[in-house]
């Protein structure tokens, strides 16, 4: 499978006075809107970014997929 566009975002909630804030902030971001990626390479990218961004923290991974009509490219 070929992925035409992707966006990978990592969120975190900061701690203040021993309490975790309700509002999540973007801590890391990666996207590609010009060049796609092969599905297997994308999975490896996700794994590598998880290790680089979160070291050994546990994070839930949520994926949203949409199949759209092709857009004309410049």
Residue of 2, 70, 15 lying closest to 42 (CA atoms):
2
Strand, helix or coil at 48? helix
Would you list the DSSP string of 20-45? Answer: E-SS-EEEEEEEESSS-EEHHHHHHH
Looking at every residue in the chain, the average pLDDT score rounds to: 86
The pair of structure tokens assigned to 48 is: 């590598």
pTM recorded for the entire structure: 0.71
Answer whether residue 22 shows pLDDT above 70.
yes
**For the chain, what are the domain ranges?**
2-54
Q: Which residues contact 72 (CB under 8 A, 6 or more apart)?
A: none
pLDDT at 15 > cutoff 90: no
């Amino acid at each position: 499978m070929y992925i035409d566009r992707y966006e990978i975002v990592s969120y975190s909630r900061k701690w203040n006075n021993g309490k975790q804030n309700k509002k999540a902030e973007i801590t890391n971001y990666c996207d590609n809107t010009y060049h796609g990626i092969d599905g297997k390479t994308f999975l490896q990218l996700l794994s590598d970014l998880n290790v680089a961004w979160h070291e050994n923290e546990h994070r839930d991974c949520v994926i949203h997929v949409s199949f759209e009509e092709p857009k004309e490219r410049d």
